[in-house]
Structure 1
């Protein structure tokens, strides 16, 4: 199936090696849980979103940094294999970013991130085209996100995670902000944002304009294996769907379908079909 015609999408963000321990349940403070299994896989919100965008749209560009180590090399190879242009990913002497993750049998997780080279992302020598979409997150420095928002004249989307206070100038610059329900509650300043997509897990997603609900789409049933990359797949999908001109409800439904596909796979950078496949599966938007 052919891809629809998408605007170029560039992702600025984190690139991590995920070290994942899968256990029966998540430990509480001070507790040791035995019997787990360990896996290593590509991750980082930025890299996950870039890989998802490339698989959905046929191509994507990544801006970030990895260490000059074996982990960095493997992560770049994984991105390139997904169809991501990695020419703007710098190699640093600092170690590659790493995420320590515990996942239980229901797919819920606990994550601790060691940023490593993600703390050394710079935009020197990076150019932005006016017709491209720029998608950022907050696992790299807020100063870099602000610089990118100021330098890029085109469509600007922000996955405001991890949650933190945001300056008004950044909120006003965003064409789209994407958060989960917990992050939305922690950042009341998002009520002033132009457009905010909020995810509610199995309960679906909604869009708010200046704090007012304008669209909602229910969640889709899924066999939950791993939730780590699902939100990132949703982010890439909702940005692409909205920029393709889909109505709000349909764009949310398509992104929910992509997220449901993602949670059924073990990888944080899951295999995804072209976006048009999900559009055809969802069908036209339902009447309001």
Structure 2
């Protein structure tokens, strides 16, 4: 059985080659790491629990990548550059190879986004991954959920329901291109950066497009008219309530819209969300809630 100190050595120095550019002046090894940055530090935390955020038979590579990626998505939604992350792993796994695979994928995503692992913890118990991410604004502005204005267009960048299709295929042992959309979502950093100058509000679609759109509109004290027929779907209209896509849903003033994204509706003065469809679609807002009975 692997020891705690052997575990620490597996993860030691992940992202260390990016310490300087990420402002890490005291790396892991002391009781705390220290970052020295000239810009505001943006941070968020996400937990991933076995049987909830990934299947019980998921492999360590995919669990690690997915757990870190979905935490990073919050930074992308705010138009921020990722800098570093902390990682806490609770597990009853005794097989050393499991931890080696987990650390391999952790290093993979750290290299992909040039981020530094600056701390963490290992404990024994039911599998649970906690990730804290740290970032800085690309510019002086950050994207927030509040800020949408009546008349703004509501946009997304990709099909909804891809991750839900991937999970379904994974569970049914049906190999498909959608499985990576679920197991290895890609935080939309380039998208967040590209819309930073003109987007008025933004949120990542982790709990379902409609549920997250509703959160953004509530924060902005506005409503919307959604054109259901204009939403790109993977399997069916229920995709608009499927979570785990980790796309960005954002609003832009009409004069900034340039057809490079899917326009799915318009912000209104009147609160609440109304739906239009010539195809007879009839939907309600469901979304994912952890404590829903």
TM-score normalised by structure 2 residue count? 0.32
TM-score normalised by structure 1 residue count? 0.33
Q: Higher relative CO (CA 8 A, sep ≥ 6), structure 1 or 2?
A: 2
For the pair shown, which has the larger CA radius of gyration, 1 or 2?
Answer: 2
